Amino acid sequence: MNKNDLISAIAEKGVLSRKDAETAIDEAIEIVKAALLNGEAVKISGFGIFEKKERAARGGTNPSTGDKIEIPASKSVSFKLSKSLKEELNK
């Protein structure tokens, strides 16, 4: 499911018009992005937690040449399922 599919699903339920659903999804995404950029975790009860993670710099090997390379530090977002969603998925 992509963003357009999600907007369509909300509109089909009759909860919001397609335009209002798109606005709501866009605003929710912006709020989650802003929280993550501020270093805050986003916890959605019954769904999961989005958290900013930092990876330290480390050494690696170029698979093409076998040369040693330095992989720089980076930041990413991780997602951890809620216990209830994980249980539902594993039924």
Instruction: List pLDDT tens digits, range 13-27.
Output: 988 999 999 999 999
CA distances from 71 to 60, 67, 75 (A): 6, 12, 12
Same domain, yes or no: 36 and 61: no
- Domain interval for residue 30: 1-40
In a domain, 45, yes or no: no
Same domain, yes or no: 87 and 55: yes
Task: Give the model's pLDDT for residue 14.
Answer: 87
Same domain, yes or no: 35 and 67: no
Q: Which residues contact 72 (CB under 8 A, 6 or more apart)?
A: 57
Q: What integer is the mean pLDDT of 62-82?
A: 94
pTM of this structure:
0.77
In a domain, 22, yes or no: yes
CATH number of the CATH domain containing 85? 4.10.520.10
- The count of domains in the chain is 2
Contact 56/73 with Cβ under 8 angstroms?
yes
For the chain, the average pLDDT equals 94
